[in-house]
Structure 1
Amino acid sequence: MLDGRINDVRGRTSGASSVWRAPGMPALLGSTALGFAGTALLMPVAPLWVLDGGADELGAGAVNAVMMLCTVIAQLLVGRVLGRLGWRWTLTLGACLLGAPAPAHLLTDDVWAVTALAAVRGLGFGIVTVCGAMGVAVLVEPARRGRAVGAYGLAIAAPQFLLIPIAPWLAERVGYWLVFMLAVVPLLAIPLALPVARALRTSDRPTADPARPGKRRDAAGLRRVLAGPIAALLAITSAGGAVLTFTPRLDPDPTTVYLALLVFTGTSALCRWAFGGFADRRGAAPAIAPLLFVGAAGLAAIGVGTARGPDMAGRVLLIAGMLVVGVAYGGLQNLTLVHAFAAAGEESRSSVGTAWNVGFDAGTGLGALAVGAVATSTSYPVSYAVLAVVTALVGLGWAGSRWRGAKGCRESSG
């Protein structure tokens, strides 16, 4: 009863203020931004480090793939960790695991050692991502969730926009040591854990959804409603994993690589924020299939541009493809999460937050590993062609399910 009154008051009082100023949101967004800053610095640089040390593309792809695998493992365990440690110490643990291993890269460029460091970082990243998504769902009421997810997405995308393009450039022009030392930045999020925990009113207590009227979905029903948005998320984050891992190898010119990553991260940051308002006004589902087709077109352009080689036309296609993929990558991150929350219901928001983050990071790791494997045996253009086809097929599947659902509604109403 008390939880219900708290949420009623929150719903009445927070509607007039910005989601950015909701209690606990500034600290949660700051913590998220610092965590993703450390990840953004190493996502393109750790694979480049092992490539320069003599590894092949498959080994380089394995670095980020293992990080994402450990991220997924951690995400599946976050609920239990929160139950034992509470929000404050769980967030602190995530920041330590994510930031502390970064300087150890200076000791070796051996692919196995760097992969082991990536595994530790992945555990911290899994904690940070699930806590962020769950926290947003609790701190802001459903009527403004699209904008709240947009703000959360901007906290994720802004450090990626600023750091992913510059990190490989800094590594090659200044030195890897600078990137590895800067990547301890998640440790700065430790002081923010306390205000986040206070705002969520679960400090040092197990996390749980408030008791609400209505029936919680069973596991089968939850899997059924989440299958569509998670499939769309897997497709686009596989593309993102490939872009973030291998763009520094697509062109020999560091300036071209910088511009390509800048365009990709900048566009995705803008679209992740912009699609929040769209989702609140129009709903998330109608835009998912079109954005998957947009992503497929962008991936095809990247493949063609890479196949042409480092001439003007090839570089224009590469950068244009990055822009188009960035639109789909940013927009679908927002829309799939908002749609998943809406389809599953408030009682399942913790499960949705975990499932969405698992899908996001599994797709990122799968894209890095798959493109590395295909590029090792064939070429980068073939890898991007495969990604484009898979993304388009998922778009067709989503459009078909929407059409069948609309047809069923018309027939039942008739």
Structure 2
Amino acid sequence: MTDLDVEADRREAAPKRQMIFLLAASLGALTGFYLLVPVVPLYTATGGSGDTGAGLSTGVMMAATVLMELAVPAVLSRCGYRMGMALGLLLLGVPSALLAVSPALPLVLAACAARGAGLGIVVVAGPALVAELVPGRRRGHALGVYGVAVGIPAVVALPLGLWLSAHVGYGFVFTAGAVVSLGTLAAAAGLPSARGPAEQHRGVLGGLRTGGLRRPTVIFAAVTLVAGILLTFLPLAVPADARSTAALALLAQAAAMPLARWFAGRYGDGRDPGRLLVPAVLAAALGGAGLVRPDNPWLLVASAAVFGAGFGAAQNVTLTLMFQRTSRSRFGQVSALWNLAYDGGMGVGAVGFGLVAGPVGYPAGFLLAAAVLFIALVPAWTDRRRTQ
């Protein structure tokens, strides 16, 4: 083997190693994040701040996430992926440990704001780096694998955090979240140190001026809107003696999502991933429509699984299409825009449904939510026609 062959093998192996480090860093970051998601509101409420404090803890965290997502492309341009991901892990880990000091509301809200900012960095930097490390012909599959890595913590860590808080205590959960996030800094050290492309600092929302980016963003925001409704209100919509059915339905949704995200990526590579856009939205719409009967346990679980499959496929397809339609210099902008659609859609869905469900009831509210997805089939079909 010549020196040139050795050098070629080294250049080919480097992105593979960096991809493994990215998956490990993202898995650790999201595990540390999800462990605390259901625990912090309980800790805040029982610590003397009541329901208001519990709601503020989540609201402040998600607001900080969205605001940071707008700034991440500029952060990556200045600091690079290694330092950017390390900063995200520090913001997720250190405040987690501080939460054990006191449930006082100012301290909790400050910690939640910092954790939200850390989450914003991690979820934007991850997909952007995947798009840079992996050639376009294999990008869909790589994004699917990344989707599985960031989907597993939602399935495992959410219920685990609640169980640990009840059996071991809040302090143990906060310490575990800090250890997982900060322990993953070793993986972040293996990421490329180069800065993101200079053009990444351009305004994130400027991507909406282009139809090729605007349509997938709007379509995905419609799907995440219904996801926010399902995650927030499904346990409240079922009869009081059927909460275990709601838990099973949410588990089915969470399990179907990363599998569908992986399948969509594997299918899309070598083909046109846009072919899956309409089926993904249709599956999500049909699953959402099935939620109008929360008193039927079998229909509820099946509908949640179908919605999860549509949601997962939509995640991969929309992100892959957006990366395909832009240059490498704008990968950070695209990732930030996609994540804004994710978090913003879930937030708007939860708040909007809360205002609607009171006057019309849960079944009618779920029907209206499904109608949003059936309407979203129009831009999905339009996008497919314009790219043929």
What TM-score, normalized to structure 1? 0.78
Q: How does 1:241-320 map to 2 (within 5 A)?
A: 241-251=228-238, 252=240, 255-305=244-294, 308=295, 314-320=296-302
Deviation at 1:27, TM superposition (A): 0.6
Q: Deviations over 1:185-212 (max 9, x none)?
A: 222221222111xxx351xxx42169xx
Q: How does 1:392-407 map to 2 (within 5 A)?
A: 392-403=374-385, 405=386
Of 340, 344, 349, 2:322 maps to 340
Of 51, 54, 65, 1:55 maps to 51
How many residue pairs get aligned? The number is: 371
Q: How does 1:217-232 map to 2 (within 5 A)?
A: 223-232=210-219
Sequence identity, in percent? 32
Distance of 2:364 and 2:107 partners within structure 1: 30
2:342 paired with 1:360: yes
Q: Deviations over 1:169-224 (max 9, x none)?
A: 5555665555444332222221222111xxx351xxx42169xxxxxxxx578632
2:230 paired with 1:240: no
Question: Which residue of structure 1 lines up, in the alignment, with residue 65 of structure 2?
Answer: 71
Going from structure 1 to structure 2, the CA distance change for 1:23 and 1:87 (only over 3 Å counts) comes to same
Going from structure 1 to structure 2, the CA distance change for 1:220 and 1:193 (only over 3 Å counts) comes to closer
Deviation at 1:48, TM superposition (A): 5.5
Deviation at 1:85, TM superposition (A): 3.1
Going from structure 1 to structure 2, the CA distance change for 1:172 and 1:322 (only over 3 Å counts) comes to farther
- Structure 1: unaligned runs, 5 residues or longer: 1-8, 211-218, 309-313, 410-414
SS of the equivalent of 1:24 reads helix
What letter corresponds to residue 130 of structure 2 in structure 1? Answer: V
CA contact (8 A) 2:65 2:120 kept: yes
SS of the equivalent of 1:101 reads helix
Distance of 1:228 and 1:287 partners within structure 2: 14
Q: Deviations over 1:358-395 (max 9, x none)?
A: 22222222223333443466544344333212122112
Deviation at 1:279, TM superposition (A): 1.1
SS of the equivalent of 1:164 reads helix
Question: Which residue of structure 1 lines up, in the alignment, with residue 32 of structure 2?
Answer: 38
Going from structure 1 to structure 2, the CA distance change for 1:321 and 1:170 (only over 3 Å counts) comes to farther
Distance of 2:80 and 2:127 partners within structure 1: 16
Distance of 1:354 and 1:134 partners within structure 2: 9
Distance of 1:269 and 1:250 partners within structure 2: 25
2:144 paired with 1:150: yes
CA contact (8 A) 1:61 1:369 kept: no
Distance of 1:178 and 1:318 partners within structure 2: 34
Of 127, 137, 146, 1:133 maps to 127
Deviation at 1:43, TM superposition (A): 3.5
Question: Which residue of structure 1 lines up, in the alignment, with residue 156 of structure 2?
Answer: 162
2:104 paired with 1:123: no
What letter corresponds to residue 191 of structure 1 in structure 2? Answer: A
Going from structure 1 to structure 2, the CA distance change for 1:194 and 1:162 (only over 3 Å counts) comes to same
Going from structure 1 to structure 2, the CA distance change for 1:51 and 1:254 (only over 3 Å counts) comes to farther
SS of the equivalent of 2:245 reads helix
Going from structure 1 to structure 2, the CA distance change for 1:85 and 1:23 (only over 3 Å counts) comes to same
CA contact (8 A) 1:241 1:368 kept: yes
Going from structure 1 to structure 2, the CA distance change for 1:299 and 1:105 (only over 3 Å counts) comes to farther
Distance of 1:61 and 1:290 partners within structure 2: 35
Question: Which residue of structure 2 lines up, in the alignment, with residue 192 of structure 1?
Answer: 187
Going from structure 1 to structure 2, the CA distance change for 1:221 and 1:67 (only over 3 Å counts) comes to closer
Deviation at 1:165, TM superposition (A): 4.1
Deviation at 1:63, TM superposition (A): 4.6
Distance of 1:90 and 1:220 partners within structure 2: 22
Deviation at 1:268, TM superposition (A): 0.5
RMSD: 3.3
Distance of 2:169 and 2:234 partners within structure 1: 19
Going from structure 1 to structure 2, the CA distance change for 1:95 and 1:129 (only over 3 Å counts) comes to same
Distance of 2:222 and 2:320 partners within structure 1: 17
What letter corresponds to residue 25 of structure 1 in structure 2? Answer: M
SS of the equivalent of 2:182 reads helix
Deviation at 1:125, TM superposition (A): 0.5
- Structure 2: unaligned runs, 5 residues or longer: 1-7, 200-205
Distance of 2:329 and 2:81 partners within structure 1: 19
2:358 paired with 1:369: no
